[in-house]
Amino acid sequence: MKAILIILILALLSPEGHANSSGEGFIVAEGMTYQILDMTTGFSHTRVMTTEGQVLKVPNNSVTAYRMNGHQYELLPLLTCQGDTLCQVFMEFISRRDGCLLYRYCSNCGKYDPLNWEIAPQNHIYRYYLLRNGHLKLLKSEAETNDTLAWFNIRVMSDFSRK
């Protein structure tokens, strides 16, 4: 019995006993940054598994940023075309250049577009935002968006299947 217990303890403490992770996933909640392997968002709480094997349950309203599967999201104000703030949403971080940050928000990924107040079939509409000198700006026109994406050295791929 002691031998089995000792083998189990050694297996748990050995480096091979821990889950391998690239350390790319993280979550910022309650002022702390946790390196994570997995994350599940519920109605009021987010459950995360850390790289150390701990399972944490944090309130959704305390999460300010996270990265999973190579995509990083940060909590930012959702602006209308008039510059009014609707609410706080998670926007995907795209790129950084010369102190400017580029974000995108999928406006119609959940069948409700908060900018147009429309309930519609799920149709991914991406809106781009530029954070410069602490001010967030919605890129309103397609030309402005294309110029900004080119400035960030992001190549725009056309989708001809929709035509």
Mean local confidence (pLDDT), 109-125: 66
More confident: 142 or 158: 142
- CA 160/CA 163 separation, integer angstroms: 6
- CA 161/CA 80 separation, integer angstroms: 29
Q: What percent of the chain has pLDDT over 70?
A: 72
pLDDT > 60? residue 37: yes
pLDDT > 60? residue 127: yes
Give yes or no for a contact between 46 and 27, defined as CB atoms under 8 angstroms apart.
yes
Give yes or no for a contact between 127 and 134, defined as CB atoms under 8 angstroms apart.
no
**Confidence band for 21, pLDDT divided at 50, 70 and 90:** very low
pLDDT > 70? residue 82: yes
C-alpha closest to that of 94 among 161, 36, 156: 156
Those residues whose C-beta lies under 8 Å from the C-beta of residue 125, and which sit 6 or more positions away, are 106, 107, 108, 113
Residue 18, pLDDT score: 34
**Confidence band for 120, pLDDT divided at 50, 70 and 90:** low
pLDDT > 80? residue 22: no
pLDDT > 80? residue 8: no
Residues 8/14/16/18 CA torsion (nearest 10 deg): 80
* CA dist 1 → 9, 14, 110 (Å): 13, 20, 54
**CB count in 10 Å sphere of residue 18:** 12
Residue 36, pLDDT score: 93
pLDDT > 50? residue 24: yes
CB-neighbour burial class of residue 25 (10 A; exposed 0-12, middle 13-18, buried 19+):
buried
